């Protein structure tokens, strides 16, 4: 069979039901992107959940950490039109479940939209929240996504939640992961952040990613991710440690993928805000200025804005935010003769009130491939 005959044979197969797609990656987090129009053109009867399971399969599909669909909003959606948003990002996990937000995916979505002719800055919606993205003129592949909603950091006694899990405690001891504090943060999706001892490394050669060590760390994450306390959807799990001034490293076990990914955008945001909240709390207790940690300056309203550098397996991301933390400024120093205002209770109140706004996530978003998928019959 000559080349021309092979080409005709392939063309005949492609003339059935096919779907156009683009593959992109952002610090190793890889995604399949398509549009609602491309899905309609394919005339497939498969739902987006079906397509996510087909496309994201790394053995029988294209392979990816999620499926992203670009969908223009209808003219009847007056709320979004008034806000200037005319695009919606639909994100589905490899298991077909819907995810509320994906930070790395949002950067890929933005570059994809610009390549299709949408203008910068891009305003778009994910579920009920609005986001805005910009690219760097010096390096167009560097994309910043702004989260318009405020995000709070809540302390979480993870060991109390998992007190009945002897396996969880045994795994922590085996991995020397006994020293940590837990927090729950929801930057568009639900995360648990475990702040670990600074002696523990996830990315350095000290702990090469041997299957035994990685599997044990995965088992710890699974105990948290599937615990009934986070039912029915479960939760993303982040292991985080400080490696320098305003610099963290982390690994994230993502629900829906149900494995560690090379990086997680919302996970890095959750980690950064947790670090700021924990540090500000300690500074408040010691009498230091709680707004001084990592401060890059002040805006016109007097709020501090902070930049945190986060290292992941897939690369480096930057998170910037404004700290509102009004309770840190207004809280009275504890009265040593009062049980009501003990240091412990003040600490808990302050930690619960940690709030951040105008959060941004900056990092690369790169095209990998474009093609046509032959859809299963």
Q: For residue range 183-219, list pLDDT tens digits in order.
A: 999 999 999 999 987 676 777 644 445 566 677 788 8
Q: Does domain 151-363 have CATH number 3.10.310.10?
A: yes
Same fold, 3-135+365-374 and 151-363: yes
Q: Give exposure, 231-247, as e/b (b: 16+ Cβ within 10 Å).
A: eeebbbbbbbbbbeebe
Q: What pLDDT does 32 receive?
A: 98
Indicate the class that CATH gives domain 3-135+365-374.
alpha beta
351 pLDDT more than 50: no
Average pLDDT over residues 321-341: 44
Residue that wins the pLDDT comparison between 73 and 250: 250
**How far apart, in whole angstroms, are the C-alpha atoms of residue 184 and residue 186?**
7
Q: Is pLDDT of 304 > 80?
A: no
The percentage of the chain sitting over the pLDDT mark of 70, rounded to a whole number, equals 73
360 vs 352: CA distance, rounded Å:
22
pLDDT digits (tens, 9 = 90+) for 8-28: 444 445 547 899 999 999 999
**pLDDT per residue as tens digits for the range 39-88:** 999 999 999 999 999 999 999 999 999 999 999 987 555 455 445 568 99
Domain residues of the chain, as ranges? 3-135+365-374, 151-363
């Amino acid at each position: 069979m000559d080349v021309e005959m092979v080409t005709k044979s392939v063309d005949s197969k492609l003339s059935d039901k096919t779907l156009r797609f683009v593959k992109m990656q952002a610090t190793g987090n890889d995604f399949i992107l398509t549009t609602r129009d491309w899905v309609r053109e394919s005339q497939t009867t498969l739902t987006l959940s079906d397509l996510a399971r087909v496309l994201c399969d790394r053995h029988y599909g294209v392979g990816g950490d999620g499926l992203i669909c670009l969908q223009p909003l209808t003219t009847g959606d007056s709320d979004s039109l008034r806000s200037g948003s005319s695009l919606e990002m639909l994100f589905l996990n490899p298991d077909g479940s819907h995810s509320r937000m994906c930070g790395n995916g949002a950067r890929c979505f933005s570059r994809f939209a610009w390549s299709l002719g949408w203008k910068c800055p891009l305003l778009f919606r994910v579920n009920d929240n609005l986001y805005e993205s910009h690219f760097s003129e010096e390096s167009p592949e560097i994309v910043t996504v702004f989260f318009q909603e405020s995000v709070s950091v809540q302390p979480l006694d993870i060991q109390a939640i998992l007190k009945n899990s002897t396996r969880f405690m045994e795994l922590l001891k085996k991995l020397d992961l006994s020293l940590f504090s837990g927090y729950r943060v929801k930057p568009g999706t639900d995360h648990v952040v475990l702040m670990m001892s600074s002696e523990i490394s996830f990315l350095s050669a000290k702990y090469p990613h041997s299957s035994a060590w990685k599997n044990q760390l995965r088992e710890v994450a699974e105990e948290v991710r599937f615990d009934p306390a986070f039912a029915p959807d479960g939760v993303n799990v982040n292991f985080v440690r400080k490696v320098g001034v305003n610099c963290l490293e982390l690994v994230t076990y993502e629900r829906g993928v149900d494995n560690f990914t090379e990086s997680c955008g919302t996970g890095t945001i959750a980690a950064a805000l947790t670090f700021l909240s924990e540090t500000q709390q300690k500074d408040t207790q010691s009498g230091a200025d709680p707004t001084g940690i990592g401060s890059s300056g002040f805006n016109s309203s007097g709020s501090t804005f902070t930049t945190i550098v986060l290292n992941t397996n897939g690369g480096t991301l930057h998170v910037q935010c404004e700290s509102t933390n009004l309770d840190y400024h207004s809280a009275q120093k504890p009265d040593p003769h009062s049980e009501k205002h003990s240091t412990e209770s003040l600490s808990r109140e302050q930690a619960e009130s940690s709030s951040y706004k105008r959060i941004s996530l900056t990092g690369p978003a790169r095209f990998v491939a474009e093609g046509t998928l032959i859809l299963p019959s």
